[in-house]
């Protein structure tokens, strides 16, 4: 398995607070992705990165921002959390686009 | 934009039977079609993938078929076992534009294999 860790694994927060999720990889993969998974919606892409400091929006990017200052780390920030952002968040990495994506274990976020 | 439809949403089979999950996609320029298995509490894991220049691919009890003309692809699992019980996702790559190469996922199929 690719070495992908996510932190925290679980978080409960209140509406309006900022939240940052971290994805760390040891595979030196160029591409990194943040998805959210909700019942009935499958996996939806939030943001992705194709290199250090190179990021772009995905399908459901409103309310989220990302940063990638090092190859290993990809941060997802909710500037002001809302209840609609309660979800399970998965990070994934890939060596190249249209290649296998390796997923992390996920972060369960609850916004009260 | 690209859309991937997956059916059925739930599937229950007896151990030893075959299971088939079907997906259709809308982007005729899609080139890459992976299938992921997700066990409870874990992240998805690739089980098989196929590219647009291939019509069929097999890996032991798992096979995937692709019909580019009809824009659909299917996952076939033979001789199902209880450990095959999981949620399965199909995906298709975006074929053009700034998001080219990114994946669009189907909504998943929950497969239950009864002993």
Backbone φ and ψ of B32, nearest 5°? -135, 130
Nearest residue on chain A to B108, alpha-carbon basis: A42
More confident residue, B99 or A63: A63
DSSP secondary structure, chain B, as one string: ---EEEE-SEEEEETTS-EEEEEEES-TT--EEEEEEE-TTS--EEEEEEETT-SEEEETTEEEEEETTTTEEEEEE-S--GGG-EEEEEEEE--SSTTTT-EEE---EEEEEE-
Shortest Cα–Cα distance, B59 to chain A (Å): 16
Portion of chain B with pLDDT greater than 90, in percent: 86
Chain B residues with CB inside 8 Å of A56's CB? 98-99
The pLDDT, as a whole number, for residue A97 is 84
> What percent of chain A shows pLDDT beyond 90?
91
Q: What is the pLDDT of residue B80?
A: 98
Q: How much is the average pLDDT of A12-26? A: 98
Q: What is the pLDDT of residues A88-109, one digit of tens each?
A: 999 999 998 888 999 999 999 9
Whether residue B94 is predicted with pLDDT greater than 70 in this model: the reply is yes
Q: In chain A, what residues touch B5 (CB-CB under 8 Å)?
A: none
Candidate from B43, B103, B104 with C-beta closest to A104: B43
Residue A2: the pLDDT is 59
Give pLDDT tens digits for A64-91: 999 999 999 999 999 999 999 999 999 9
């Amino acid at each position: 398995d690719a070495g992908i860790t996510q932190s925290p694994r679980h978080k409960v927060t209140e509406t309006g607070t900022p939240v940052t999720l971290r994805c760390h990889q040891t595979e030196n993969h160029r591409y990194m992705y943040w998805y959210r998974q909700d019942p009935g919606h499958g996996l939806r892409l939030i943001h992705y990165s194709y290199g250090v400091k190179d990021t772009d929006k995905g399908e459901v990017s409103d309310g989220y921002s990302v940063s990638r200052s090092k190859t290993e780390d990809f941060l997802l920030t909710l500037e002001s959390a809302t209840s609609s952002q309660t979800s399970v968040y998965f990070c994934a990495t890939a060596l190249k686009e249209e290649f296998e994506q390796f997923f992390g274990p996920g972060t369960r976020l609850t916004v009260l | 934009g690209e859309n991937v439809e997956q059916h059925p949403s739930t599937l229950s089979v007896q151990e030893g039977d075959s299971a088939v999950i079907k997906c259709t996609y809308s982007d005729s320029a899609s080139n890459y079609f992976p299938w992921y298995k997700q066990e409870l509490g874990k992240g998805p894991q690739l089980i098989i993938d196929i590219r647009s220049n291939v019509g069929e691919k097999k890996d032991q009890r798992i096979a995937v078929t692709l019909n580019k003309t009809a824009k659909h692809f299917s996952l076939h699992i033979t001789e199902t076992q209880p450990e095959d019980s999981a949620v399965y996702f199909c995906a298709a790559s975006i074929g053009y534009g700034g998001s080219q190469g990114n994946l669009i996922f189907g909504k998943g199929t929950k497969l239950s294999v009864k002993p």
